[in-house]
Structure 1
Protein backbone atom coordinates (compact mmCIF):
# COMPACT_ATOMS: atom_id res chain seq x y z
CA UNK A 1 0.00 0.00 0.00
CA UNK A 2 1.60 3.34 -0.99
CA UNK A 3 2.14 6.08 1.53
CA UNK A 4 -1.23 7.88 1.70
CA UNK A 5 -1.71 11.59 1.35
CA UNK A 6 -3.93 12.78 4.16
CA UNK A 7 -5.03 16.17 5.42
CA UNK A 8 -7.74 15.24 7.93
CA UNK A 9 -6.63 15.13 11.58
CA UNK A 10 -6.01 11.68 13.02
CA UNK A 11 -8.44 10.98 15.88
CA UNK A 12 -7.41 7.35 16.34
CA UNK A 13 -4.66 5.60 18.29
CA UNK A 14 -3.28 2.07 18.34
CA UNK A 15 -1.54 -0.06 20.95
CA UNK A 16 0.39 -3.17 19.92
CA UNK A 17 1.08 -6.10 22.25
CA UNK A 18 2.99 -9.22 21.07
CA UNK A 19 1.09 -12.48 21.61
CA UNK A 20 3.28 -15.40 20.57
CA UNK A 21 3.70 -15.48 16.80
CA UNK A 22 1.08 -12.75 16.36
CA UNK A 23 0.53 -9.20 17.56
CA UNK A 24 -2.70 -7.90 19.08
CA UNK A 25 -3.41 -4.31 18.00
CA UNK A 26 -6.01 -2.41 20.04
CA UNK A 27 -7.48 0.52 18.12
CA UNK A 28 -9.28 3.44 19.73
CA UNK A 29 -11.01 6.61 18.58
CA UNK A 30 -12.32 7.43 15.12
CA UNK A 31 -11.26 5.50 12.03
CA UNK A 32 -11.89 7.85 9.12
CA UNK A 33 -9.66 9.36 6.43
CA UNK A 34 -7.40 10.79 9.13
CA UNK A 35 -6.55 7.26 10.29
CA UNK A 36 -4.32 6.96 7.23
CA UNK A 37 -1.72 8.72 9.38
CA UNK A 38 -1.46 5.47 11.35
CA UNK A 39 -0.34 3.52 8.29
CA UNK A 40 3.47 3.69 8.94
CA UNK A 41 2.95 2.52 12.53
CA UNK A 42 0.60 -0.29 11.48
CA UNK A 43 3.03 -1.48 8.82
CA UNK A 44 5.89 -1.50 11.32
CA UNK A 45 3.80 -3.61 13.71
CA UNK A 46 2.99 -6.03 10.88
CA UNK A 47 6.66 -6.26 9.88
CA UNK A 48 7.65 -7.23 13.42
CA UNK A 49 5.00 -9.96 13.76
CA UNK A 50 5.77 -13.53 12.73
CA UNK A 51 2.40 -14.57 11.30
CA UNK A 52 0.21 -11.46 11.37
CA UNK A 53 -1.98 -9.09 13.36
CA UNK A 54 -5.20 -9.52 15.34
CA UNK A 55 -7.23 -6.30 15.56
CA UNK A 56 -9.29 -5.33 18.60
CA UNK A 57 -11.69 -2.64 17.33
CA UNK A 58 -14.05 -2.69 20.29
CA UNK A 59 -13.09 0.86 21.32
CA UNK A 60 -13.46 2.40 17.85
CA UNK A 61 -16.44 4.75 18.18
CA UNK A 62 -16.62 5.76 14.51
CA UNK A 63 -15.57 4.08 11.27
CA UNK A 64 -16.26 5.06 7.68
CA UNK A 65 -14.99 4.06 4.25
CA UNK A 66 -11.70 5.87 4.84
CA UNK A 67 -11.05 3.82 7.97
CA UNK A 68 -12.07 0.61 6.23
CA UNK A 69 -9.58 1.37 3.44
CA UNK A 70 -6.81 1.53 6.06
CA UNK A 71 -7.78 -1.92 7.36
CA UNK A 72 -8.00 -3.36 3.85
CA UNK A 73 -4.61 -1.88 3.00
CA UNK A 74 -3.11 -3.55 6.06
CA UNK A 75 -4.67 -6.85 5.00
CA UNK A 76 -3.19 -6.64 1.50
CA UNK A 77 0.23 -5.78 2.90
CA UNK A 78 -0.04 -8.82 5.18
CA UNK A 79 -0.87 -11.07 2.23
CA UNK A 80 2.23 -9.79 0.43
CA UNK A 81 4.25 -10.98 3.44
CA UNK A 82 2.45 -14.32 3.73
CA UNK A 83 0.68 -13.19 6.91
CA UNK A 84 -2.94 -12.55 7.95
CA UNK A 85 -4.98 -9.80 9.60
CA UNK A 86 -8.03 -10.75 11.66
CA UNK A 87 -10.64 -8.80 13.60
CA UNK A 88 -10.97 -10.42 17.03
CA UNK A 89 -13.46 -7.84 18.41
CA UNK A 90 -15.36 -4.87 17.01
CA UNK A 91 -17.68 -2.15 18.24
CA UNK A 92 -21.25 -2.02 16.85
CA UNK A 93 -20.23 0.84 14.56
CA UNK A 94 -17.33 -1.10 13.04
CA UNK A 95 -19.39 -4.27 12.88
CA UNK A 96 -22.07 -2.50 10.89
CA UNK A 97 -19.55 -1.13 8.38
CA UNK A 98 -18.08 -4.62 7.91
CA UNK A 99 -21.56 -6.06 7.39
CA UNK A 100 -22.73 -3.35 4.97
CA UNK A 101 -19.62 -3.68 2.82
CA UNK A 102 -19.38 -7.48 3.03
CA UNK A 103 -15.83 -7.15 4.35
CA UNK A 104 -16.23 -9.13 7.56
CA UNK A 105 -15.28 -12.44 5.92
CA UNK A 106 -12.00 -10.92 4.77
CA UNK A 107 -10.81 -10.59 8.36
CA UNK A 108 -11.76 -14.06 9.61
CA UNK A 109 -8.85 -16.48 9.67
CA UNK A 110 -9.39 -20.19 9.29
CA UNK A 111 -7.88 -22.11 12.18
CA UNK A 112 -7.16 -25.63 10.91
CA UNK A 113 -6.47 -28.32 13.48
CA UNK A 114 -2.78 -28.54 14.19
CA UNK A 115 -1.11 -31.91 13.69
CA UNK A 116 0.64 -33.68 16.53
CA UNK A 117 4.17 -32.52 17.02
CA UNK A 118 6.79 -35.14 16.20
CA UNK A 119 7.56 -37.10 19.33
CA UNK A 120 4.54 -35.76 21.24
CA UNK A 121 4.45 -32.63 23.39
CA UNK A 122 8.20 -32.54 23.69
CA UNK A 123 8.84 -32.75 19.98
CA UNK A 124 9.93 -30.07 17.58
CA UNK A 125 7.81 -26.95 17.40
CA UNK A 126 5.59 -26.94 14.32
CA UNK A 127 5.97 -24.30 11.65
CA UNK A 128 3.16 -21.77 11.02
CA UNK A 129 0.77 -22.76 8.25
CA UNK A 130 1.46 -20.74 5.08
CA UNK A 131 -1.19 -18.30 3.91
CA UNK A 132 -3.03 -19.22 0.73
CA UNK A 133 -2.62 -15.80 -0.89
CA UNK A 134 -4.47 -16.75 -4.09
CA UNK A 135 -7.48 -17.94 -2.11
CA UNK A 136 -7.52 -14.79 0.03
CA UNK A 137 -7.39 -12.54 -3.02
CA UNK A 138 -10.20 -14.53 -4.70
CA UNK A 139 -12.28 -14.11 -1.56
CA UNK A 140 -11.73 -10.35 -1.64
CA UNK A 141 -12.74 -10.17 -5.31
CA UNK A 142 -15.89 -12.21 -4.58
CA UNK A 143 -16.85 -9.81 -1.80
CA UNK A 144 -16.33 -6.80 -4.05
CA UNK A 145 -18.41 -8.38 -6.81
CA UNK A 146 -21.21 -9.08 -4.34
CA UNK A 147 -21.15 -5.44 -3.26
CA UNK A 148 -21.26 -4.29 -6.89
CA UNK A 149 -24.35 -6.42 -7.57
CA UNK A 150 -26.27 -4.71 -4.77
CA UNK A 151 -25.01 -1.20 -5.49
CA UNK A 152 -27.48 -0.32 -8.33
CA UNK A 153 -30.50 -0.91 -6.06
CA UNK A 154 -28.92 1.20 -3.33
CA UNK A 155 -28.22 4.04 -5.76
CA UNK A 156 -31.83 3.99 -6.97
CA UNK A 157 -33.11 4.06 -3.39
CA UNK A 158 -30.84 6.99 -2.64
CA UNK A 159 -32.31 8.80 -5.63
CA UNK A 160 -35.80 8.11 -4.29
CA UNK A 161 -34.90 9.63 -0.92
CA UNK A 162 -33.27 12.63 -2.61
CA UNK A 163 -36.34 13.31 -4.75
CA UNK A 164 -38.89 12.62 -2.01
CA UNK A 165 -37.30 14.80 0.67
CA UNK A 166 -35.19 17.27 -1.31
CA UNK A 167 -31.91 16.03 0.15
CA UNK A 168 -28.38 16.00 -1.21
CA UNK A 169 -26.78 12.72 -2.27
CA UNK A 170 -24.67 12.60 0.92
CA UNK A 171 -27.64 13.33 3.20
CA UNK A 172 -29.75 10.70 1.41
CA UNK A 173 -26.96 8.14 1.96
CA UNK A 174 -26.92 9.03 5.66
CA UNK A 175 -30.69 8.50 5.84
CA UNK A 176 -30.44 5.06 4.21
CA UNK A 177 -27.62 3.87 6.48
CA UNK A 178 -29.32 5.21 9.59
CA UNK A 179 -32.62 3.50 8.72
CA UNK A 180 -30.70 0.29 7.90
CA UNK A 181 -29.01 0.30 11.31
CA UNK A 182 -32.12 1.15 13.30
CA UNK A 183 -34.29 -1.49 11.61
CA UNK A 184 -31.53 -4.13 11.54
CA UNK A 185 -32.02 -4.50 7.80
CA UNK A 186 -29.22 -5.00 5.29
CA UNK A 187 -28.81 -1.93 3.14
CA UNK A 188 -29.59 -3.66 -0.16
CA UNK A 189 -32.75 -5.23 1.31
CA UNK A 190 -33.91 -1.84 2.57
CA UNK A 191 -33.23 -0.36 -0.87
CA UNK A 192 -35.43 -2.96 -2.55
CA UNK A 193 -38.28 -2.23 -0.15
CA UNK A 194 -38.09 1.48 -0.98
CA UNK A 195 -37.96 0.70 -4.71
CA UNK A 196 -41.09 -1.41 -4.34
CA UNK A 197 -42.98 1.70 -3.25
CA UNK A 198 -42.60 3.05 -6.79
CA UNK A 199 -44.80 0.21 -8.01
CA UNK A 200 -47.36 0.62 -5.24
CA UNK A 201 -45.98 -1.85 -2.69
CA UNK A 202 -46.45 -0.62 0.90
CA UNK A 203 -43.37 0.39 2.83
CA UNK A 204 -43.22 -1.42 6.22
CA UNK A 205 -44.33 0.91 9.00
CA UNK A 206 -41.14 0.52 11.02
CA UNK A 207 -39.03 1.37 7.99
CA UNK A 208 -41.22 4.36 7.14
CA UNK A 209 -40.87 5.70 10.68
CA UNK A 210 -37.09 5.23 10.74
CA UNK A 211 -36.64 6.93 7.36
CA UNK A 212 -38.75 9.87 8.55
CA UNK A 213 -36.74 10.09 11.80
CA UNK A 214 -33.43 9.97 9.89
CA UNK A 215 -34.60 12.70 7.51
CA UNK A 216 -35.55 14.87 10.48
CA UNK A 217 -32.10 14.37 12.04
CA UNK A 218 -30.31 15.19 8.80
CA UNK A 219 -32.30 18.38 8.41
CA UNK A 220 -31.56 19.35 12.00
CA UNK A 221 -27.88 18.41 12.21
CA UNK A 222 -26.71 17.95 8.62
CA UNK A 223 -24.89 14.89 7.29
CA UNK A 224 -22.56 14.70 10.33
CA UNK A 225 -24.91 12.76 12.62
CA UNK A 226 -23.66 11.76 16.07
CA UNK A 227 -23.40 8.24 17.45
CA UNK A 228 -24.51 5.19 15.44
CA UNK A 229 -26.30 7.36 12.88
CA UNK A 230 -23.02 8.87 11.72
CA UNK A 231 -21.75 7.26 8.51
CA UNK A 232 -19.84 8.33 5.45
CA UNK A 233 -20.97 8.85 1.92
CA UNK A 234 -19.57 6.29 -0.52
CA UNK A 235 -17.98 9.18 -2.37
CA UNK A 236 -15.41 9.35 0.46
CA UNK A 237 -14.12 5.88 -0.25
CA UNK A 238 -10.68 5.75 -1.79
Structure 2
Protein backbone atom coordinates (compact mmCIF):
# COMPACT_ATOMS: atom_id res chain seq x y z
CA UNK A 1 0.00 0.00 0.00
CA UNK A 2 1.16 3.53 -0.79
CA UNK A 3 -0.28 6.81 0.46
CA UNK A 4 0.28 10.34 -0.89
CA UNK A 5 -0.93 13.47 0.89
CA UNK A 6 -1.35 16.76 -1.02
CA UNK A 7 -2.78 20.17 -0.13
CA UNK A 8 -6.30 20.92 -1.41
CA UNK A 9 -7.40 24.29 -0.06
CA UNK A 10 -8.37 24.00 3.57
CA UNK A 11 -8.34 20.22 3.16
CA UNK A 12 -5.78 17.56 2.38
CA UNK A 13 -6.15 15.20 -0.58
CA UNK A 14 -5.09 11.68 0.37
CA UNK A 15 -4.42 9.25 -2.49
CA UNK A 16 -4.25 5.58 -1.48
CA UNK A 17 -3.31 2.66 -3.73
CA UNK A 18 -2.63 -1.03 -3.25
CA UNK A 19 -4.33 -3.44 -0.85
CA UNK A 20 -6.11 -2.41 2.36
CA UNK A 21 -6.12 -5.28 4.83
CA UNK A 22 -5.00 -6.23 8.34
CA UNK A 23 -1.33 -5.82 7.44
CA UNK A 24 -1.69 -2.29 6.05
CA UNK A 25 -4.36 -1.02 8.47
CA UNK A 26 -2.01 0.32 11.19
CA UNK A 27 -0.08 2.42 8.68
CA UNK A 28 -3.30 3.64 7.05
CA UNK A 29 -4.77 4.63 10.42
CA UNK A 30 -1.61 6.46 11.48
CA UNK A 31 -1.30 8.31 8.18
CA UNK A 32 -4.93 9.42 8.09
CA UNK A 33 -4.89 10.54 11.72
CA UNK A 34 -1.76 12.64 11.15
CA UNK A 35 -3.23 14.16 7.99
CA UNK A 36 -6.46 14.95 9.84
CA UNK A 37 -4.51 16.76 12.56
CA UNK A 38 -2.79 18.92 9.92
CA UNK A 39 -5.95 20.19 8.22
CA UNK A 40 -8.72 22.54 9.27
CA UNK A 41 -11.36 21.34 6.79
CA UNK A 42 -10.86 17.59 6.59
CA UNK A 43 -9.71 14.97 4.11
CA UNK A 44 -10.65 14.08 0.53
CA UNK A 45 -9.86 10.42 -0.14
CA UNK A 46 -8.90 9.16 -3.58
CA UNK A 47 -9.20 5.36 -3.39
CA UNK A 48 -9.33 4.68 -7.13
CA UNK A 49 -6.03 2.79 -6.93
CA UNK A 50 -7.13 0.39 -4.17
CA UNK A 51 -7.14 -3.19 -5.50
CA UNK A 52 -8.52 -4.88 -2.38
CA UNK A 53 -10.38 -3.56 0.66
CA UNK A 54 -11.74 -5.66 3.54
CA UNK A 55 -13.86 -4.97 6.60
CA UNK A 56 -10.85 -4.20 8.78
CA UNK A 57 -9.94 -1.35 6.43
CA UNK A 58 -13.54 -0.15 6.57
CA UNK A 59 -13.17 -0.09 10.34
CA UNK A 60 -10.21 2.28 9.96
CA UNK A 61 -12.14 4.58 7.61
CA UNK A 62 -15.14 4.70 9.96
CA UNK A 63 -12.92 5.36 12.96
CA UNK A 64 -11.11 8.24 11.25
CA UNK A 65 -14.42 9.64 10.03
CA UNK A 66 -15.84 9.55 13.56
CA UNK A 67 -12.73 11.32 14.84
CA UNK A 68 -13.11 13.98 12.15
CA UNK A 69 -16.74 14.63 13.09
CA UNK A 70 -15.78 15.20 16.72
CA UNK A 71 -13.44 17.98 15.59
CA UNK A 72 -15.90 19.52 13.10
CA UNK A 73 -14.10 18.21 10.01
CA UNK A 74 -15.20 16.15 6.99
CA UNK A 75 -14.03 12.90 5.40
CA UNK A 76 -15.28 12.57 1.82
CA UNK A 77 -14.50 10.42 -1.21
CA UNK A 78 -13.28 11.98 -4.44
CA UNK A 79 -12.81 8.65 -6.27
CA UNK A 80 -13.20 4.95 -5.58
CA UNK A 81 -12.19 1.67 -7.13
CA UNK A 82 -14.57 -1.20 -7.79
CA UNK A 83 -13.35 -2.99 -4.65
CA UNK A 84 -14.03 -0.01 -2.39
CA UNK A 85 -17.34 0.84 -4.06
CA UNK A 86 -18.55 -2.72 -3.61
CA UNK A 87 -17.61 -2.87 0.08
CA UNK A 88 -19.21 0.48 0.92
CA UNK A 89 -22.34 -0.36 -1.04
CA UNK A 90 -22.79 -3.81 0.48
CA UNK A 91 -22.36 -2.44 4.01
CA UNK A 92 -24.61 0.60 3.36
CA UNK A 93 -21.81 2.98 4.40
CA UNK A 94 -21.30 4.75 1.07
CA UNK A 95 -23.52 7.74 2.02
CA UNK A 96 -21.37 8.35 5.08
CA UNK A 97 -18.42 9.24 2.84
CA UNK A 98 -20.16 10.88 -0.13
CA UNK A 99 -22.12 13.71 1.46
CA UNK A 100 -20.72 16.93 2.82
CA UNK A 101 -23.21 18.74 5.10
CA UNK A 102 -20.88 21.73 5.38
CA UNK A 103 -21.26 22.46 1.65
CA UNK A 104 -24.91 22.48 0.45
CA UNK A 105 -23.81 22.83 -3.19
CA UNK A 106 -21.73 19.67 -3.08
CA UNK A 107 -23.27 16.61 -4.73
CA UNK A 108 -23.92 13.42 -2.78
CA UNK A 109 -21.25 11.38 -4.55
CA UNK A 110 -17.65 11.39 -5.74
CA UNK A 111 -16.61 14.30 -7.94
CA UNK A 112 -17.98 14.25 -11.53
CA UNK A 113 -14.53 13.47 -12.95
CA UNK A 114 -13.79 10.79 -10.37
CA UNK A 115 -13.03 7.25 -11.48
CA UNK A 116 -15.90 5.24 -10.05
CA UNK A 117 -17.93 2.16 -10.89
CA UNK A 118 -21.66 1.53 -10.35
CA UNK A 119 -22.76 -0.44 -7.26
CA UNK A 120 -22.19 -4.17 -7.66
CA UNK A 121 -25.27 -5.17 -5.67
CA UNK A 122 -28.77 -4.33 -6.96
CA UNK A 123 -30.42 -4.79 -3.55
CA UNK A 124 -28.57 -1.88 -1.97
CA UNK A 125 -29.10 1.82 -2.68
CA UNK A 126 -26.10 4.02 -3.28
CA UNK A 127 -27.34 6.88 -1.14
CA UNK A 128 -30.27 7.86 1.03
CA UNK A 129 -32.71 10.56 -0.19
CA UNK A 130 -31.27 13.01 2.34
CA UNK A 131 -27.88 12.67 0.68
CA UNK A 132 -29.14 13.91 -2.71
CA UNK A 133 -29.02 17.61 -3.60
CA UNK A 134 -30.13 19.30 -6.82
CA UNK A 135 -27.27 20.63 -8.91
CA UNK A 136 -27.41 24.39 -9.19
CA UNK A 137 -30.18 24.83 -6.60
CA UNK A 138 -30.24 28.19 -4.88
CA UNK A 139 -29.96 28.44 -1.10
CA UNK A 140 -31.13 31.20 1.17
CA UNK A 141 -28.19 33.29 2.48
CA UNK A 142 -29.20 32.68 6.08
CA UNK A 143 -28.97 28.90 5.68
CA UNK A 144 -26.24 28.48 3.07
CA UNK A 145 -23.57 27.79 5.69
CA UNK A 146 -25.76 26.20 8.35
CA UNK A 147 -24.55 23.00 9.95
CA UNK A 148 -26.18 19.61 9.40
CA UNK A 149 -29.80 19.36 10.49
CA UNK A 150 -30.86 17.24 13.44
CA UNK A 151 -32.66 14.79 11.13
CA UNK A 152 -29.52 14.40 9.03
CA UNK A 153 -27.40 13.71 12.10
CA UNK A 154 -29.91 11.15 13.38
CA UNK A 155 -29.88 9.38 10.01
CA UNK A 156 -26.09 9.52 9.83
CA UNK A 157 -25.66 8.12 13.34
CA UNK A 158 -28.11 5.32 12.58
CA UNK A 159 -26.15 4.42 9.44
CA UNK A 160 -22.89 4.38 11.36
CA UNK A 161 -24.38 2.24 14.13
CA UNK A 162 -25.74 -0.22 11.58
CA UNK A 163 -22.37 -0.39 9.85
CA UNK A 164 -20.67 -1.26 13.12
CA UNK A 165 -23.19 -4.04 13.81
CA UNK A 166 -23.04 -5.61 10.35
CA UNK A 167 -19.23 -5.47 10.18
CA UNK A 168 -18.99 -7.71 13.26
CA UNK A 169 -21.19 -10.42 11.76
CA UNK A 170 -19.36 -10.24 8.42
CA UNK A 171 -15.96 -10.68 10.09
CA UNK A 172 -17.25 -13.64 12.14
CA UNK A 173 -18.71 -15.26 9.02
CA UNK A 174 -15.38 -14.86 7.24
CA UNK A 175 -13.69 -16.56 10.17
CA UNK A 176 -16.11 -19.50 9.94
CA UNK A 177 -15.39 -19.92 6.23
CA UNK A 178 -11.64 -19.69 6.78
CA UNK A 179 -11.72 -22.33 9.52
CA UNK A 180 -14.16 -24.67 7.73
CA UNK A 181 -12.71 -24.59 4.23
CA UNK A 182 -9.10 -23.50 4.82
CA UNK A 183 -9.58 -20.22 2.96
CA UNK A 184 -7.48 -17.10 3.10
CA UNK A 185 -9.13 -13.89 4.42
CA UNK A 186 -9.48 -12.60 0.86
CA UNK A 187 -10.96 -15.87 -0.41
CA UNK A 188 -13.50 -15.91 2.45
CA UNK A 189 -14.50 -12.33 1.63
CA UNK A 190 -14.95 -13.18 -2.07
CA UNK A 191 -17.11 -16.19 -1.15
CA UNK A 192 -19.49 -13.98 0.86
CA UNK A 193 -19.62 -11.34 -1.88
CA UNK A 194 -20.28 -13.89 -4.63
CA UNK A 195 -23.06 -15.57 -2.65
CA UNK A 196 -24.56 -12.17 -1.89
CA UNK A 197 -24.62 -11.12 -5.54
CA UNK A 198 -25.94 -14.41 -6.92
CA UNK A 199 -28.79 -14.61 -4.39
CA UNK A 200 -29.60 -10.88 -4.45
CA UNK A 201 -29.14 -10.81 -0.68
CA UNK A 202 -27.38 -8.14 1.33
CA UNK A 203 -23.93 -9.14 2.52
CA UNK A 204 -24.69 -8.89 6.23
CA UNK A 205 -27.79 -11.08 5.76
CA UNK A 206 -25.65 -13.78 4.14
CA UNK A 207 -23.25 -13.51 7.08
CA UNK A 208 -26.09 -13.72 9.62
CA UNK A 209 -27.52 -16.81 7.94
CA UNK A 210 -24.11 -18.48 8.04
CA UNK A 211 -23.64 -17.62 11.73
CA UNK A 212 -27.00 -19.16 12.59
CA UNK A 213 -25.69 -22.55 11.42
CA UNK A 214 -23.07 -22.54 14.18
CA UNK A 215 -25.52 -24.29 16.56
CA UNK A 216 -25.30 -27.41 14.39
CA UNK A 217 -29.07 -27.60 13.91
CA UNK A 218 -30.00 -24.63 11.72
CA UNK A 219 -29.39 -25.27 8.00
CA UNK A 220 -28.65 -22.60 5.44
CA UNK A 221 -31.76 -21.59 3.49
CA UNK A 222 -32.05 -22.50 -0.17
CA UNK A 223 -30.76 -21.41 -2.63
CA UNK A 224 -28.15 -19.67 -0.45
CA UNK A 225 -26.59 -23.00 0.55
CA UNK A 226 -26.01 -24.02 -3.07
CA UNK A 227 -24.59 -20.65 -4.10
CA UNK A 228 -22.32 -20.54 -1.05
CA UNK A 229 -20.98 -24.03 -1.78
CA UNK A 230 -20.34 -23.08 -5.41
CA UNK A 231 -18.59 -19.87 -4.35
CA UNK A 232 -16.31 -21.84 -2.01
CA UNK A 233 -15.31 -24.18 -4.84
CA UNK A 234 -14.64 -21.29 -7.19
CA UNK A 235 -12.58 -19.11 -4.89
CA UNK A 236 -10.70 -21.91 -3.13
CA UNK A 237 -9.09 -22.69 -6.46
Q: Any idea what SS the aligned residue of 1:89 has?
A: strand
> Conserved in 2, the CA contact under 8 Å of 1:36 and 1:67?
no
Question: What is the CA distance between 1:149 and its match in structure 2?
Answer: 8.3
Deviation at 1:15, TM superposition (A): 0.8
Alignment equivalent of 1:26, drawn from 5, 8, 15 = 15
Secondary structure of 1:86's partner? strand
Confirm or deny: 8 A CA contact 2:47 2:80 kept in the other structure.
Answer: yes
Counterpart CA distance in 2 for 1:23 and 1:135 is 28
The answer to which structure, 1 or 2, has the higher relative contact order (CA under 8 A, 6+ apart) is: 1
Preserved contact between residue 31 and residue 64 of structure 1 (Cα < 8 Å)? yes
Structure 2, gaps ≥5 residues long: 106-137, 213-217
| Residue pair 2:48, 2:81 contacting (<8 A) in 1 also | yes
Q: Matches of 2:139 and 2:27 in 1, distance apart? A: 41
- The 1:215/1:140 distance shift into structure 2, 3 A limit, reads same
- The DSSP-based 3-state class of the residue aligned with 1:82 is coil
Question: What TM-score do the two structures reach when normalised by structure 2?
Answer: 0.59
Name the structure 2 match of 1:141. Answer: 157
Separation in 1 of the partners of 2:56 and 2:19? 10
User: Match of 2:126?
Assistant: none
Partner of 1:63: 53
Q: What's the offset of the Cα at 1:94?
A: 0.7
- Label 1:51 to 1:173 Cα distance change in 2 as closer, same or farther (>3 A): closer
In 1, Cα distance between equivalents of 2:40 and 2:10: 5
**CA contact 2:13–2:45 (8 Å) conserved in 1:** yes
Distance 1:95 1:218 in 2: 21
CA–CA distance in structure 1, aligned partners of residues 165 and 59 of structure 2: 20
Report how many residues are paired: 191
Aligned counterpart, 1:175? 191
Query: Do structure 1's residue 93 and structure 2's residue 93 form an aligned pair?
Result: no
Structure-1-length-normalised TM-score: 0.59
Q: Secondary structure at the match of 1:43?
A: helix
Rounded to whole Å, the distance in 1 between the matches of 2:149 and 2:182 is 41
Flag the 1:83–1:135 CA change in 2: closer, same or farther, 3 A: farther
Report if the CA contact (8 A) 2:199-2:223 is conserved: no
* Pair 1:46–1:143, CA change in 2 (3 A): same
Q: What displacement does 1:214 show? A: 1.2
Q: Would you tell me which structure has more helix in proportion to its own residues? A: 1
Between Structure 1 and Structure 2, whose CA radius of gyration is higher? 1
CA shift for structure 1 position 92: 0.9
Q: Check if 1:45 corresponds to 2:35.
A: yes
